[in-house]
Every structure is written in structure tokens, then in C-alpha cells.
Amino acid sequence: MATNNVGSTQSRLTAMVTEADAVVLQAVEEAHGVGRPAEVTATYAEQEYDALATEQRESWCAEGEVAARKAAVQAAGQAPAAKAASLVLSEHAHEVVEARGQYQHAAQTLTPYVRRSTHDDVRYLAGWAVLGLGDTAGVLGAAIFLGEIPLVALGQALATGFAAVTAGLAGSEYQELRQARARQRPVEKLTEDERHYVHLFTEAGAARSTTRMVSWVAVTIMVLITVGIFALRAGTEGVLAGVAFGGLAAATALASFISSYVHADAAADLIAAYRQRYRRAERGHIRLARSPSLARHAQAAETAASIEREQEGRGEAAGQAVSALKYRMLRRNPQVVGHGESRSEIPSVGRRARVDGAS
């Protein structure tokens, strides 16, 4: 039906354009126009055309409703899920804002206390892996030489290698204790922003006993690994090999200690933790924003609205075309309604104007 209406409207417009092109205004010495009589408001013919114009608008809107029904029903069916997803997305937006605020506050307040270089994370992680794999290779070779099952030997070697580099993490405790002493100030002397991170400025004394305990545990691990590798290599390749590989194991643990000592920075770690939380919240928010429920509902709703807008526009155009036909009818009947709208309620007796400039 919509296609028929479009074709009919186009045909009428084409006919009107053709007729307008055929109109020739004759030159005359005088022009005489009569306005609409005041007692004639709207003829039945005009009311008919007005009703037809309204009918066109309403029928096109109805057709738009029919055309958009499927998309509108889909949008309605997806509305509950979309509403729930939208609520979660809205709530999660608060988490993103909060995480960003905490990260920015921590970065602004604690950056003056950061001592770690910008790219030290890469150096530290690479060194930690290389040192751990070095001890792993030493233990693995000896275990396989003794006849151990390779898979079992690999597991034990990995555990030993990473135990050595883990023992070296005690270095971070000494570095953080040193930095805490440098930062330590009475609470009353801290700024309002620094009081959000009061533990960074007031717990240096309490950390000493913990650092001593961790240090003894780390030394014990290093000794046990050194003795174990010495015994393993000495039993398979001789005392010299045992001393060499035992010394390398001890050196690995000590190198891990130094690496952790250089890398440790409580202020930088806290800023990194807030930054990681913010990035995680940001990624989660983007993932929620891509919810299929939200996308399907938005697409269906926009499809329905677009179809309705299109049909409404076509209906308005069709109504305007009928209105044009009404004025065409009025133009062809000046003997009843005059040549145009009157400027006053008094019946016009005509207006004369010399077109050649004569008075």
C-alpha cells in the first residue's frame, strides 16, 4: 500500500509540474484581483481537501506503525534485559570514576616519593625469570643424570629455581624499610592528602621485626638450596662441580636479593595498584557497554523509530500535495472564492494597479 501511495503522489506531482510549466501569463495594461469575500470562510470543497490531507497523514502514520511493528516488538521484548544491563553499566560508571579519582590522587600525592625508574618493571621481571631459569637448569641436568624421570625432575628443578629467586625478595623488605625511614614524619606534620596514605609515613619502626624474620627465612632458603645443589652435583660430577654449582645457586639468590632491593618502592607500588584497578575498571566498563542486550535493543528501537519518522515524513508530504491540489481548485474558481486571501473582513471590491507605471 505504501508503494501505491508513493507512486500516486509522484504521479500527481509530475502532472502539477507539467501544468505549471504550461502556464503563460499574458501581459495586460491593468491587473484586477478580487480577494475572498468575508462571508466565505471555507467551502465544502476546501473542507474535503483538508480532510483528504489529514487522511493522507494519518494513513501514512498507520502504515509506519505496521512497518515498524516487528522492530518495535523486538525492542519491547529486549527492554528488560537492556534495562538491567544499562543499570549495571550506570553503576559501574561510578566505580570507574572512583578508581580514576583514587589513581589520580595517589599519583599526584606520592609521585615526589617515587624512587623507581620508569622502565624498571621490565628489567626486574626479565631478571627474575632469567635467574629462576638458571637455577632450574642446574638442578634439572643433575637430576636427569642421576636417572630421575625428566618430567618429575623438571618440576623439582622449577620449584628449586624459583625458590632461590623468591628468597631474594627479602631485598625489597630492606629497601622499603630504608625508604620508610626517609619518609617518616609525625602524623600532625602530614598534609591532608598524605594522611590518606599514613601507613607509608608512620610504620617504619614496626617493619623492623618483620624484616629480620623475613631475612632469616631467606638466608635459610639460600643455604638449603646451595647445600642441596652442592650435594647433587658432587654426587654425580665430583666435589668441584658441587662447589661450582652450589656457588652459582647462592649467587643467584644474592642477585635476586639485589634486584629486589633496587626495584622495591612502596610508593610506586601503591600508585601502580591504583592504576591497575582503574585500568581494570575501565576495561570492565567497556566490556559492559558492548553488551549484546544493549546493542540489540538500541538497534531494534532505532529501526522502529526510523521507519515511523520516514512514514510520518511521507505522510506530511502527501498531505502537502493534497493541500496544493486544494489551492489549485481554488485558483480555477475565482468567481466564487476570489483570487486570494482578503486582508480584511470587509468584502473586497477589487484592486486595480497600473502595470505600465501610469497613475
Round to whole Å and give the CA distance between 358 and 354: 6
Contact in structure between 108 and 197 (CB atoms under 8 Å): no
344 pLDDT band (50/70/90 cuts)?
low
Distances (CA, A) of 165 to 85, 178, 221: 46, 21, 10
Where along the chain do its domains lie? 115-264
What are 30's strand-pairing partners? 354
* The three cell numbers locating residue 146: 642421576
Q: What is the predicted pLDDT for the residue at 359?
A: 35
- SS3 label, residue 352: strand
CA 287 to chain centre: 8
Q: Give the number of other CB atoms < 10 A from CB of residue 288.
A: 17
Q: What is the predicted pLDDT for the residue at 45?
A: 81
Amino acid at 345: E
CA 359 to chain centre: 75
What are all long-range contacts of 3-9, with beta carbons under 8 Å and residues at least 24 apart? 5/56, 5/59, 5/60, 5/63, 5/314, 5/318, 6/314, 9/317, 9/318, 9/321
Q: What is the predicted pLDDT for the residue at 98?
A: 93
Lowest-pLDDT range of 224-238, 258-272, 339-353: 339-353
Residue 206: phi and psi, rounded to 5, are: -65, -20
Indicate the burial class of 74 (C-beta count within 10 angstroms; 0-12, 13-18, 19 or more): middle
Within 8 A by CB and 6+ apart from 310, the residues are: 64
CA 351 to chain centre: 69
pLDDT over 80 (residue 128): yes
Within 8 A by CB and 6+ apart from 196, the residues are: 105, 106, 109
* The three cell numbers locating residue 216: 632469616
pTM of the model: 0.63
Q: What is the mean pLDDT of residues 239-244?
A: 82
